Structure 1
Amino acid sequence: MWSWVAHRVTGVLIFFFLFVHVLDTALVRVSPEDYDKVVATYKTPIVGLLEYGLVAAILFHALNGLRVIAVDFWSKGPRYQKQMFWTVMGVWIVLMAGAIYPVLGHAARVLFGS
């Protein structure tokens, strides 16, 4: 049940990001100065953490989507759905742990000017 909820929530978050991305990219045609201001706000540590969250959402959504496909189209899928869920979570945690170093490095460079 919770994986279903998380899959829907991550899907909505990804859609929201794509919508905002299209809007801010379209802003370059309307007002290049405002576009530059918006892009400048993306170079903050808070946005860096939000980007890490975006990576987390996309990665979970993709891995869980593969699990859903396996459950739906593999005859033994429903029998192994719990094991597949924990495999997805394990792979997700390992990949997210590996992705934290670049995020922290970027935040340190922005904060401390290194």
Structure 2
Amino acid sequence: MSLYRGGIGQWAWLLHRLSGLGVLLFLVIHILDTALVLWGADLYNRVIAIYRMPIFGIGEIGLFAAVLFHALNGIRVVAVDFRPAWSVYHKQMFQAVVVLFFLIFIPVAVIMTGHILEGMHG
């Protein structure tokens, strides 16, 4: 029986891949914008100044969500890989990942949103 044949296992698989791609996209952009320093501090500083816009703060919240989900679900994937007998609990383990994700994400997102709003008005 495959864990990834529809249902919750398919969602876990898809979200894990998408969150990984999101983190990869951030890393590529980060490497490229850091490399701008090779063309001078002025160009680098102008690009970094753009990142202070509120839309990028929202992007940081998305990045945090992607990293957090990918890490928590990665622990679940490793657990099932190293303890195949636990695969019968993959649904419950994914549900635990989702609960932990929201327990951690919501307060952090509230704090991050507060910083974004302070930056807009301060």
TM-score if structure 2 supplies the norm length?
0.88
- Distance in 2 of aligned mates of 1:15 and 1:75: 28
Q: 1:75: Cα distance to partner?
A: 3.5
Structure 2 residue aligned with 1:3: 12
Corresponding pairs, count: 113
Give the share of equivalent positions with the same residue, in percent: 42
Structure 2 residue aligned with 1:16: 25
- The one-letter amino acid of 1:23's match is L
Matched, 1:102 2:111: yes
Equivalent positions of 1:1-114 (< 5 A) are: 1-113=10-122
Q: 1:19: Cα distance to partner?
A: 0.6
Q: Deviations over 1:35-75 (max 9, x none)?
A: 10110011111100100000000000011011011111114
- Distance in 2 of aligned mates of 1:99 and 1:111: 19
- Distance in 1 of aligned mates of 2:23 and 2:109: 19
- Distance in 2 of aligned mates of 1:56 and 1:40: 23
Structure 1: state its 5+ residue gaps. none
Q: 1:31: Cα distance to partner?
A: 2.2
TM-score if structure 1 supplies the norm length?
0.94
Structure 2: state its 5+ residue gaps. 1-9
